[in-house]
Amino acid sequence: MTQLVWFRNDLRAADNPALTAACKSRHPLKACFIVTPEQWREHDWSPARVRFVLDHANALSEELSGLGIPLSFITASRFTDSVEKLEEFCRRESIRHVHFNEEYGVNERRRDKAVKQALDDTGIAVNKYRDQTVAPVGSILTRQNEPYSVFTPFSRRWRSWIDEARPTLFPVPEPVGDPVEPARYDDYPPGFDNPPPGLVAIGEDSAHQRLEQFLDNRVGDYKNLRDLPSVDGTSLLSPYLANGVLSGRQCLIAARQHQGLGGNQEGLATWTNEIAWRDFYINILYHYPRVSMHRAFKPETEALKWNTPGEKFEAWKAGNTGIPIVDAAMRQLNQTGWMHNRLRMITAMFLTKNLFIDWRLGEAYFMSKLVDGFLASNNGGWQWSASTGTDAAPYFRVFNPATQSERFDPDGEFIRKYVPELAKLDNKRIHQPWTSGVIPGRYPRPIVDLKESRKEAIAKFQALKN
């Protein structure tokens, strides 16, 4: 009675509910990973993410081979084809039972429903597990059993759930057989060429090392440094978390252990709150599938008439808007496949409020570049910034990117790194070079008037109420 673990957004052996459950059955065990390049293209996956995922699928294959679990790579161009391919694979390998961890995007849910139906029809059992969040998705509800749409009460309930339930980790399974030869997938799919150099090391061990080093050495300063893009003040664990190499539970439990050992309580609490944000947005995706279908969480904002993207959108993408902090941020994204959180908010607000360009275009562009592209958080972050989402920034509170720049990059260190044209400007002029007459080199003048565009955006949101 051979069993199969189907790995998807959970590329790890430790703390993996589907793998642990399958191992417990003590039947022969196989694993698979389905490569779906067309689907990845439709979901705007970046070359950086595709490389990261395939490298980790190969690393997982090696890890599982030591446990006696052979991992097979199946190729299907899209999710719809993966149903048939998986069924074929199960028939060929005499699989009688399939285990996988749930995913919450609309296309993922449709695929999983179709897979279950097809396998049920052929007498193959299917078991699904809730894995992506610390508290099982859908379990954090208001007293009226409704989903939360505001973060702060969600996080309060989330923390008390953790205190009561005391979640634990699923252990790395014991070997189920002799080591096997690991399969590898080395056919890099076309269209995902030239990824930026890897940002973090490959492998579950590397993810855990980064987590431990962050908690041992840097979390104490997290509250003070997390908003400064020139400083290594955040964990840079997002590529691992977004692709399931590390779980939210592992982060939460490691942070709690450090709290118990007397680690910096304020830093740990602030960082743990970010794990709650991640869970919050996954719950939004789960309860409100419309957000993964390009729909605004706040339906009334669908009436906004966004500007035609055109040249200004191109300038934003390339980091040539004439607003130094926005340009530095966009160039960081384009060159590294990652952007600092404070800068994600600044660039998203600039696109949606100053240029008044549709958040969906920004969301897709981020996805097409990020190594940590994650539908729930990316959509949540964009809709927050555009004031169309749950618990969104109030529409009248529009960041001024120049003021944000003075506050969070006071010495212009980050700007100098990514916008070398401005490197010689002093710390005052570097944030708003256009105010001092001569703009150096070929650096552009601002493509939009910050004050006027802010007023116009507020008026357009205000008009929705009339």
Ligand X SMILES: Cc1cc2nc3c(=O)[nH]c(=O)nc-3n(C[C@H](O)[C@H](O)[C@H](O)COP(=O)(O)OP(=O)(O)OC[C@H]3O[C@@H](n4cnc5c(N)ncnc54)[C@H](O)[C@@H]3O)c2cc1C
Q: Cβ distance 76 to 36 under 8 Å?
A: yes
Residue choice 89, 100, 316, 366 for contact with ligand X (CB under 6 A): 366
Structure tokens, 141: 């509800």
6 is catalytic: no
CA atoms within a 13 Å half-sphere pointing along the CA-CB vector of 33: 26
Q: Which stretch binds ligand X (CB under 6 A): 72-80, 129-137, 377-385, 439-447?
A: 377-385
Output the smallest distance, CB 35 to ligand X, in A: 21
| 242 in contact with ligand X (CB under 6 A) | yes
The yes-or-no answer on residue 306 being catalytic is: yes
Buried/exposed code over 283-299 (b: 16+ C-beta within 10 A; e: otherwise):
bbbbbbeebbeebbbbe
Reference 381, options 398, 394, 355, 363; nearest CA is 363
Q: Left (φ > 0), alpha (ψ -120 to 50) or beta: where does 103 sit?
A: beta
Task: Based on the residue annotation, tell me whether 359 is a catalytic residue of this protein.
Answer: yes
Binding of ligand X at residue 103 (CB under 6 A)? no
CA angle, 74 as apex, 71 and 76 as ends, to 5°?
155
Active site residue 307: no
Whether 341 sits among the annotated catalytic residues: the reply is yes
Give the total of residues touching ligand X (CB under 6 A).
Answer: 28
Catalytic residue among 38, 127, 306, 434: 306
By CB under 6 A, the residues from 380 to 419 that bind ligand X are 380-382, 385
Out of 44, 103, 112, 274, which residue is the one contacting ligand X (CB under 6 A)?
Answer: 274
Q: State the Cα–Cα distance between residues 130 and 112, nearest whole angstrom.
A: 13
* Binding status of residue 229 toward ligand X by CB under 6 A: no
CB of 227 to ligand X, least distance (A): 10
62, 107, 236, 293, 369 from 201: Cα distances, Å: 16, 30, 11, 33, 18
Q: Which of 345, 355, 392, 393 binds ligand X (CB under 6 A)?
A: 345
Query: Which residues neighbour 94 within 8 Å (Cβ) at sequence distance 6 or greater?
Result: 2
Q: Does 49 bind ligand X (CB under 6 A)?
A: no
CB of 347 to ligand X, least distance (A): 8
Q: Which helix (H) or strand (E) holds 167?
A: none
Residue 264 is a binding residue for ligand X (CB under 6 A): no
User: Minimum distance from CB of 122 to ligand X (Å)?
Assistant: 37
Choose which of 56, 210, 278, 353 interacts with ligand X (CB under 6 A).
278
Residues forming a β-bridge with 74 = 34
Question: Where would I find the H helices in 319-445?
Answer: 324-336, 341-349, 359-369, 375-385, 401-408, 413-418
Annotated active-site positions, please? 274, 277, 306, 341, 359, 382
Give residues in contact with ligand X (CB under 6 A): 226, 234-238, 241-242, 274-275, 277-278, 281, 341, 344-345, 348, 366, 370, 372-374, 377-378, 380-382, 385
